A and B are shown apart, each in its own frame.
Chain A
Amino acid sequence: MAGTLPADPTPWHERRDAGLSDSTMRRTIGTVTKRFSTGQRQVFNGYPEGATAREAAVKAKRQAIRDLDTLLPRLRDSVETNGGQTYLARDATEAVAVVVKIAQSRKVQRIIKTKSMLTEELQLNQALQEAGLSVVETDLGEYIIQQAHETPSHILAPAAHKNRDQIETLFRDDAREKGITPPNSNNAESLTRYARQRLREDFLHADMGITGGNFAVAETGTVVLITNEGNADMVTTLPSILVSVVGIEKIMDTWETLGTIIQQPAMNGIGQRLSSYTTFVSGPRREGVVEGPVEWHLVLVDNGRNLLRGTEFEDVLSCIRCGACLNVCPVFRQVGGHAYGSVYPGPIGIVETPLLTDWRILPELPTVGCTVCHACGEACPMEIDLPHHIIQLRQEKVRRHLVASGVARSYRWWAKMWATASGYQRSLRWARWGQRLYLKQGTLHDAPGIAHGWFVSRNMPPVASETFHEWWLKHRQGGT
C-alpha cells in the first residue's frame, strides 16, 4: 500500500521563489554542499579499500532488498530473542500510533531523540506533542531547526540553510526566555557549548529515547546509528525506555555485509572515512548490567517502501541517506531544500516522494526539480539511477495525464513535424516567417507557446536566414 508523507501545501512557484530570494540560504547551502561534495571526492583518493567496500556494499544492499521477505522476520526474531519488542507498521499512521501508545502506557513525559529522517517522514514529533509529550531533538542541527520551528532542509545536515549569525540569534532568544546565560559569540564552539549545556538537562531528565536507524542487522538483531556528536550514545543509554523507528529497507543480513556499508554514509556524506560515533543497540539492559534502557521497542516501518520492490525503481530502496545527490544538484544549490516541499529534497526526494505516496503529493517535483545534468547519478555511492528515474517519472506523468494538455499537444505536434525531413524544413520556414513579430535589433525577444518561458529572461538568435541545410544545398550542390 502507498505511504503517507507530509507535503508543504504552498504551491511550487511560491516555494521556489522563497528559496531563490533567500540570499543568505543560497550562500550557506552553496558553501556547505560544495564542501561536502569536494570532501566526498577527496576521501576516496588514495583509499582503494573504500572504493572496493562501496562496490561490495551496493551488491549487498541490493541483495538485502531482494531478500527482505526473509530478512524482516529474521531481524524480528533476533531482536525478540535479545529481549526487545518488535512491531511492523504498514504506514505512517500505524507507526505513529505504536510509538504514542508505548509512551502513553508507560506514563512517559519527556522524550529525547536522535536525528531520523524517517521520524520526520512520519511527523512523529508533532503526534507526540499533540499527545502532550515533550520531545527534544539532540542532534545539533535538528536541535537548531526545532528551536526555529522549521523542518530539515538537507537529509544529512538539517540546518544546512542556516548560518552562524542566525543560530546565535535563535540561541540568544532561547536564553532570554529561559533566563540563562546566552552564547558569548557566534563561533561554532560557543554555539555548540550553549546547545550542549541546554541538552545536558534534557538527557538527564528524559524517560524515553527515540532513535532512527542507519542499518539493522538481521543476524544479531542490532540497530546501527551513525552520528558525529555522540548524542545517540546518550539517547540509547540514559532513558529507561528506548524506541527505535527504522525503515524496512534498512535491514542488512549479516555483520559481514554491514562491514562493507558502514563507512559509506560518512565517506559520501561529509568526506570522512568513518562517522565520529557509531552506536550499536542489540537489546535492552541485561541482567547484572547497570546501564541501558529497561525496555527496547523496534518499530519497523513500510510506509510505501514495498511498493517499489520488483519495479524498475527498486534500487531507490538502497539509499543510505548520505545526501551526496543533494550536494551536487545544481537545482538544490539554487532553491535549497525547503523549496521541494517534501521531507526528502534533492534528486532522491524528487524520485521518492511520488513513488512512496503513489503520486498523492507533490507530483510537480520530477518536472520542476531537474535539469537532467546527471550529477546525482555520478555522485550516488549506491549507484541509484536517479537521472533516469526522474526522466521515467516525467514519462509516467505524461502517461497519467498529469501534464497540461496544451503542452502535451505541442510535443505531439513537434514530433509529428520533425519526424520527416519535409515537415522539419517547413516548420523552420514557418518559424522564420512568424518570428518577425518578435525580432528586435536582429534578436528574438519573445515567442509563443512553451518557448515563451525562455524569453522571460533570455534572448535568442532568430532562425537563420539561411539554415545549415540551405547552405549545404546551395554550396555543396545537393549534398547526398
Chain B
Amino acid sequence: MKPVQLFVTCMVDAFRPEAGIAAARVLERRGAALDFPADQTCCGQFSFNAGYHHEAARLARHFVHVFEGTEGSIVALSGSCAAMVIHEYPSLIAEDVISTGGTTGEAADWKERAVRIGDRVVELSQWITQFTENSPEVPNPVVSAVLHQGCHMRRLLKANVEPEAVLRQAGINPITMDDADQCCGFGGTYSMTEWKVSTALADAKWYSVKKTIHEHNIACLTSADLGCLLHLEGRQSRLGETFPVMYLAELIDRADQGMLMEKGETDGWDTSR
C-alpha cells in the first residue's frame, strides 16, 4: 500500500464531488492507502493568476501547513492546481513573507517548506502511471473519448502521455482533437472578467470537439482538469446541448466497474449507477 494524500481541489469539492469520489475509488483500487486532510481548501491559483499575490500566498501557506504533517504523495485532481503548488508556491510564499515584513531567513524557511510539499505533489494520472504496476493496455477498447489536455498539464507539468496512458489501460481509446494545444478559455477568473473572449474560446473548443465526434465514435469529452470541463460543460448547458463531459477519474471508475459498453447499446456507458 502506498500512502496517498488526496487533494481534491475546491472545484471538485464544491461543484463535482462525484469526481472526487470516483478518484478515491480509482486510487484505492490501485493500491493507494488514501487519506484526505480535511482542513484543505483551495490552492489559490485563482488569486495568483489575477495578480492578487498576497491573497494567493495566504492560501498557499495554509496548503503547506495542512499537508506538511502528512506522508506520501499528494495526489491533485487537477494538473493546473498541481502545477500551481509545484511551480509557483516557493517563490510566491517567499516573496510574500518579505513584502509583509518577514526576514530573509523566514522567507528561505518557507521556501524550503513549499519546495518539500511541491516535491510530493503529482496529478492523478501521473500517480497512476508512476506509482502503480503498469497494467497492460486493453487490446480492444470499447469506448473512445475526446481528451482535452489542459494547458498547465501540457506546458507546466509536461504530463503529455499520462492521461492517454491511463485511459488506454482502462480500455478507453483517447482521441486528440484539432487545435488541441489551444486553451479552452477558462483561465480562472478570466472566464468571469473577460467572459466574451473566454466564451469565444469555449466555442472554438467545442467546434473542434464536435468535428472529432463527427469523425469518430465518441462517448464523451474528458480531461484531467475539471476547471476546463466545467467551463466547456457550462457553455453547452447554456446552449441547451448535452454531450457527456466526464472528469478522467469518473471515466476510469466506470471502466473499472465494467460499466463501459459499445456505443449503440447505450450512449457509451451505463449511467444507472
Contacts and interface: CB of A to CB of B under 8 A. Distances in A.
A391 B8 contact: no
A333 B194 contact: no
Given A464-B17, A479-B37, A373 B47 contact: no
Interface stretch (B112-120, B167-175, B234-242, B248-256): B234-242
A453 B15 contact: no
Nearest to B35: A480
B20 interface: yes
Contacts of B189: 450
B2 interface: no
Contact of A460 (B179, B200, B230): B230
A376 to B, nearest CB: 10
Interface in A451-476: 451-454, 456-464, 466-473, 476
Contacts of B49: 372, 391, 394
B90 interface: no
A460 B234 contact: yes
B238 A464 contact: no
B186 interface: yes
B192 A451 contact: yes
A66 B269 CA distance: 61
A398 B52 contact: yes
B20 to A, nearest CB: 4
Contact of A424 (B12, B35, B42, B187): B42
A334 B204 contact: yes
A162 interface: no
A374 B156 contact: yes
Interface residues of B, number: 69
B202 interface: yes
Given A373-B183, A418-B41, A469-B38, A458 B199 contact: yes
B42 A466 contact: no
B196 to A, nearest CB: 6
A424 B41 contact: yes
Contacts of A456: 195, 199
A335 interface: yes
B223 interface: no
Given A374-B156, A411-B47, A454 B190 contact: no
Interface string B40-53: 11101011111111
A333 B182 contact: yes
Nearest to B240: A459
Interface string B185-211: 111111111111111111010000000
A17 B10 CA distance: 33
Contacts of B202: 457-458
A476 B8 CA distance: 15
A458 B14 contact: no
B181 interface: yes
Contacts of B151: 371-375
Contacts of B44: 415, 418
Interface in A1-57: 16-17, 20, 34
Contacts of A459: 234, 237-238
A387 to B, nearest CB: 9
Contacts of B21: 468, 471
Contacts of B152: 374
A20 B196 contact: yes
A414 B47 contact: yes
Contacts of A17: 196
B219 interface: no
Interface in B218-249: 230-231, 234-235, 237-238
Of B8, B188, B193, B202, most A-chain CB atoms within 10 Å: B193
A459 B231 CA distance: 8
B36 interface: yes
A190 interface: no
B191 A454 contact: yes
B133 interface: no
B28 to A, nearest CB: 11
A331 interface: yes
Nearest to B53: A395
Given A374-B152, A479-B37, A331 B16 contact: no
25 contacts: A331-B201, A367-B51, A367-B193, A368-B197, A371-B197, A373-B151, A373-B155, A391-B51, A393-B51, A394-B51, A411-B47, A412-B52, A414-B47, A415-B58, A416-B58, A421-B38, A421-B39, A450-B193, A453-B192, A456-B195, A461-B15, A463-B14, A464-B15, A468-B36, A480-B70
In order of increasing CB-CB distance, the 4 nearest A-B pairs are: A394-B51, A371-B187, A415-B55, A458-B234
Interface of A: 16-17, 20, 34, 328, 330-331, 333-335, 366-368, 370-375, 377-378, 391, 393-398, 403, 407-408, 411-412, 414-416, 418-421, 424, 428, 431, 443, 450-454, 456-464, 466-473, 476, 478-480
